[in-house]
Amino acid sequence: MDEQGTYYDWILGQTTGLLAERGDDRAVALLIDVRSMSLHNTDEVVGTRKIFDTFLTGDDGPLIETFYRREAVLDVPDHLIPAFTEEVCERIAATLSYIAERNGEENVAYVRPRPALPEVDEDWRKTYAARQARARPSNQARRESAVTTHPAEDGLTFGSAEELRAYRALKRLQSRFPEHDTIAIAPLPAIACALATPGAPTSW
């Protein structure tokens, strides 16, 4: 973090501290996760002044300096953006404006969150490719069903003929139960809840 970034982080820390003293736990919890802060001019003009310096302007008359209302831009993790509601930002801005002015930064009136840039290294392609590979579902059960010659019935695949015979025996047993008493049957990774009517399981 450069010198200016460290200075702004100091202002952010004092803002967080004052909000904590005031009991605004929600704002404090959000500001703790802010990665960095910067100050930017808005389009709102708050005033001007004339600078009479012939060294700077020559014979062109006084130099006009314009002052703008400013906003504090907070870099935060993307998933936290919705938590920075208008109400929360207004509360943070009111305290930050006071702290900033005490530190010589005037006209800070607004707070705006934005998604922080992800931290990556030179191997970012490998990092994200490995993460995608871990997150991708294998669909192993469906693949096995596509290539196997194992017996199937009622949309379920069985590991052997013996499993199929056991399944049919359980369906016959189920037919003797009351309508709302069911048997859960789970061949391989699938599961079926056999209803009172044999041959009509509900599977998922």
Listed by start position, the domains of the chain span 3-115, 140-203
| pLDDT tens over the chain, length 204 residues | 789 999 999 999 999 999 999 999 999 999 999 999 999 999 999 888 877 666 666 666 677 889 899 999 999 999 999 999 999 999 999 999 999 999 999 999 999 999 999 989 999 999 999 989 887 765 455 545 455 567 777 767 777 777 777 777 777 776 766 666 666 666 655 555 544 444 444 444
Q: Please state, in angstroms and rounded to a whole number, the distance separating the CA atoms of residues 75 and 109.
A: 17
Distances from the Cα of 90 to the Cαs of 71, 131, 132, 166, in angstroms? 11, 38, 39, 67
Q: What is the pTM of this model?
A: 0.60
Residue 136, helix vs strand vs coil: coil
Q: In 3D, which of 156, 162, 161 has the Cα closest to residue 188?
A: 156
State residue 180 phi and psi, 5-degree precision: -95, 5
Contact 6, 36 (CB under 8 A): no
Q: Please state, in angstroms and rounded to a whole number, the distance separating the CA atoms of residues 10 and 23.
A: 20
